Amino acid sequence: MASISIEEVSKVYPNGFNAVRDLSLNVAEGEFMVMVGPSGCGKTTALRMVAGLEEITSGTLRIGDRVANQLTSKERDVAMVFQNYALYPHMSVAENIAFGLSLRKTPKVEIKQKVAEAAEILGLTSLLDQKPGLLSGGQRQRVAMGRAIVRDPSIFLMDEPLSNLDAKLRVQMRTEVRRIQRRIGVATLYVTHDQTEAMTMGDRVAVMRAGVLQQCDQPQVLYNQPANLFVAAFIGSPAMNLFDATLSEDGTTLRLGSQDLAMGEQLIQLRPGLAAYRGRRLVVGLRAEDLPVYGNENAAQAVLKAHVETTENLGSELLVHFSIDAARVGGENLGDTGELEIVAAIDIIGEGVARVEPRAPVRAGEDALFAVFPERLHFFDPESQIAVS
């Protein structure tokens, strides 16, 4: 087993495009690290540099205690699992798993033993004689993983391995891949564009944007303490509600559109960094689940009045899509341009979503009151986009 150490690694293509910029990331032995971000953010390029499929322009890559920059893919002792299973249709499951070992002239007895061990881990023992064409998508993905496992690699690299599966099977395979990785205990770098996949699978998650690492931490830390606007907008489903706001001169009231939300003295106490924003504009973030319907059981110092546009009843919860007259700050385009986008002008409706209990007394077309708790709010500088704490 080995660790992965990426130290200020960059990738610049001949045309001048900077795909990855000064990336520093460590994956400990046995750790499952997920790299996530929108298309074109540099995550797959970073993975390919670790694999030896892309040259490193600058910086240092270490696998275990070896500097790997100049090593070939074979010398790095890595195993990759791609979204394309690349199985040979004329070979059995056992032959597909053993293919790499056969090329290396591994003794047949050892091949048989390794294939049997991998099949047992992956739940493929009863399918070893089957051809890939007779397998489900999830079973084919497990065969592809088996081909990597039998090599006993120092590290695993996975590039969107579940993206070709349907939604239900993808959820199933998330658990399977995680179980297999824990059992094998090999450092794994896993790339995906799906933030739900990242949050449910990773020991830690590295969020990329335009070739730059934004934040790397445990999933719950990313969710509760996003470092900047991009992470706040990207992590979470539904996405965080982000609105343009102004803090009063005394720091006790938050103006959101035409509404003044009473925050009290505790706001500055909770977020000392807000003292510098008295009388100034900032961006406020509210998670959907932090906007319960106002009532006796959800009494709050501040109440947000909104117009209910539509509702989605999911059985265990109700998603309430509402509008207020505050300007909504867009997170969708932050990954492409890096510019803070005010989606709505102050006289145009800003949309948001609240996650409430399924029997909440809200109706589409009517107004509703939502409780707002100062300790659950997130704040960001509108220029730097950095979280204010």
166 and 299 belong to one structural domain: no
Position 335 scores a pLDDT of 41
Residue with tokens 């991998």: 118
Identify whether 28 is part of a domain.
yes
Position 297 scores a pLDDT of 67
Q: Which structural domain range is residue 77 located in?
A: 4-228
Cβ(291)–Cβ(300) under 8 Å? no
11 and 138 belong to one structural domain: yes
Q: Out of 184, 207, 228, pick the residue that ends a domain.
A: 228
Identify whether 385 is part of a domain.
no
Q: In this structure, is the dihedral angle defined by the CA atoms of residues 374, 317, 226 and 230, taken in order, positive or negative?
A: negative
46 and 193 belong to one structural domain: yes
Position 13 scores a pLDDT of 96
Identify whether 387 is part of a domain.
no
Identify whether 386 is part of a domain.
no
pTM given for the model: 0.89
Containing H/E element for 24? strand 18-27
Q: Which residues contact 70 (CB under 8 A, 6 or more apart)?
A: none
206 and 330 belong to one structural domain: no
What letter represents residue 38's amino acid?
A: P
143 and 252 belong to one structural domain: no
Position 138 scores a pLDDT of 87
Q: Give dist(CA 279, CA 288) in Å, integer.
A: 27
Angle between helices 93-103 and 137-149 (to 10 degrees): 30
- The three-class DSSP label of residue 260 is strand
258 and 198 belong to one structural domain: no
184 and 152 belong to one structural domain: yes
Hey, which residues does 190 pair with through a beta bridge?
34, 158
Quick one: the chain helix, strand, coil %, rounded to 5?
A: 30, 30, 35
- Tens-binned pLDDT, residue by residue, of the chain (389 aa): 799 999 999 999 999 999 999 999 999 999 999 999 999 999 999 999 999 999 999 999 999 999 999 999 889 999 998 888 788 999 999 999 999 899 888 999 999 999 999 999 888 999 999 999 999 888 998 899 899 889 889 999 999 988 888 888 888 889 888 988 998 899 999 999 999 999 999 999 999 999 999 999 999 999 999 999 999 999 999 999 999 999 999 999 999 999 999 998 889 999 999 999 999 999 999 999 999 999 866 666 799 999 999 999 999 999 999 999 998 887 544 544 445 554 443 334 578 999 999 999 999 999 999 999 999 999 999 999 999 99
Q: Assign residue 79 the CATH number of its domain.
A: 3.40.50.300
184 and 314 belong to one structural domain: no
44 and 170 belong to one structural domain: yes
107 and 213 belong to one structural domain: yes
Identify whether 389 is part of a domain.
no
Which residue, 64, 65, 47, is CA-closest to 56? 47
120 and 249 belong to one structural domain: no
Identify whether 193 is part of a domain.
yes
- Taking residue 144's Cβ as centre, other Cβ atoms within 10 Å add up to 24
Q: Out of 181, 211, 228, pick the residue that ends a domain.
A: 228
Q: Report the number of distinct structural domains present in the chain.
A: 2
170 and 211 belong to one structural domain: yes
Identify whether 198 is part of a domain.
yes
Q: Out of 168, 197, 228, pick the residue that ends a domain.
A: 228
Position 346 scores a pLDDT of 38
